[in-house]
Structure 1
Amino acid sequence: MKWYVVYTKPKWEKRATEQLTKFGVTCYCPMIKKVKQRSDRKIKVEVPLFDHYIFVKLAEKDRNMVFHSPGIVRYLFWLGKHAIVKDQEIETIKEWLKHGDTAREISVMQYQIGDRIHLNSGPFCEQNAVVKDITKTHYVLILESLGYVLKVKHL
């Protein structure tokens, strides 16, 4: 069985994960805690790490099962094929979330935009990335194996 990436309707990540789990599909929707400002107070809420995306682990023959949930729009494709995520990459995300805000350990001050780097510390240890942008407060890295952009604050 492989991990596939599924695109959901807006704000349906949690509901779709719950529905698919009831149907017997192994799902993973990485969640983070954010502080949101209400008119009278600040509250902590749990939101998906990746908007509109959840991961499902299925055999290839069972791929249509995900459409039993009305919140699922389509599968994500990469280079004309279904996007497949390795077990190790899912574990990396889980490990990163377990350690919280340790992404600040990553520093790429000596690099230029466009440089290819190999991360050797922090939650994305052993991942390859490309430096996309350097701002006054953040570094923007593209994690090649995940196909995502990582924004890291300066130390």
Structure 2
Amino acid sequence: MEKLEYRSAASHAEAGNAPAMKVKLLSAAANATTYIISFFKGDEVVSGLAGFALEYGVKSAHFQGIGSAFSVELGWFDFDRLEYEVIKVGIAEVTSLNGNITWYQDKPVVHAHATASERGGLVKGGHLLTMNVGPTVEVIVTVEPTLLNKKLNPEFNATMIDYDL
């Protein structure tokens, strides 16, 4: 029997692990800016989105995407352990990628959920921990002007948006 792996709900990806990532401005309006970000072989998506937030001065954003990956790690939140049970997915079509970017302790936080289809169409989904890109993952990001910060909620050992800041 395979031993279960767990990850903290309070940990967040560090920027800098998406060297082939490309960004293009799609539109700029008075209150929002929209970009397309393309990730390529070897890029890690969560890290790349955190790096994008740092480089482009993102205060908050939301995004959606699709693509393919060589590997994906999803998380299912275990309320007894207050950690994510890791769900490993091999080569997959990324059928949905959605989330937001906020800030915690002066670092960008990417909160994403994804579904990924393995060969034969079996779909797995959950909180996105890591996504290592195959040929490409394409993400549309809308950047908003309002700063959103997170704080640690000790009841769940997870960071959540702080509406009092």
Q: Structures share a fold, TM > 0.5?
A: no
State the TM bucket, normalised to the shorter chain.
Answer: under 0.3
Higher strand share: 2
TM-score with structure 2 length normalisation? 0.26
Higher helix share: 1
Greater length-normalized contact order (CA 8 Å, ≥ 6 residues apart): 2
Larger radius of gyration: 1
